[in-house]
Chain A
Amino acid sequence: MSEPDLQFRSFADVVRWVIEELGAMCPSPERLAGYWENPGAVEYRDIRYHVEEAGCPICRAERHAVDAGHRQ
Chain B
Amino acid sequence: MDGDRTRLEAELTEAFVSGSAELRRWLQQAFERLYDQADDILHDAFTETLRRIRSEGFCSSAGWITYLRVVARNRAIDRLRSCERRIFRQLASHSTSGDSSGSSAANLGVMAIDSEPGPSTRVAEDERRSRQGILLSQVLEEFCRWCESKSSRLLMKEAYERSLRGQKPFEIAAAMGIAPSDVYSLLHRARNWIFDRIRQADVERSVFLTLYGHGPT
Contacts and interface: CB of A to CB of B under 8 A. Distances in A.
Q: How large is the interface on B (under 10, 10 to 19, 20 to 34, 35 or more residues)?
A: 35 or more
B106 A12 contact: no
B33 A4 contact: yes
Interface in B66-97: 66, 69, 73, 77, 80-81, 83-84, 87-88, 91
B154 A7 contact: no
Contacts of A14: 87-88, 91, 105, 210
A8 B105 contact: yes
Contacts of B147: 46
* Residue among A1, A24, A50 with the highest chain B CB neighbour number at 10 A: A24
B200 interface: no
B137 A18 contact: yes
Given A6-B83, A24-B137, A49-B158, A16 B165 contact: yes
A68 B18 CA distance: 13
B32 to A, nearest CB: 7
Nearest to B83: A6
A66 B137 CA distance: 25
Please report whether the interface of chain B is mostly helix, strand, loop or mixed according to DSSP: helix
Interface residues of A, number: 41
A68 B140 contact: no
A20 to B, nearest CB: 8
A12 to B, nearest CB: 7
Interface string A9-38: 111111110110111111110010000000
B148 A28 contact: yes
Greatest chain A CB density within 10 A among B88, B136, B137, B145 is at B137
A9 to B, nearest CB: 5
A57 interface: yes
A62 to B, nearest CB: 7
Contact of A4 (B34, B87, B102, B103): B34
Interface stretch (B4-12, B47-55, B111-119, B121-129): B111-119
A1 B84 CA distance: 22
A64 B26 contact: yes
A48 to B, nearest CB: 9
Contacts of A64: 25-26, 29
B202 interface: no
Given A11-B102, A45-B154, A65 B136 contact: no
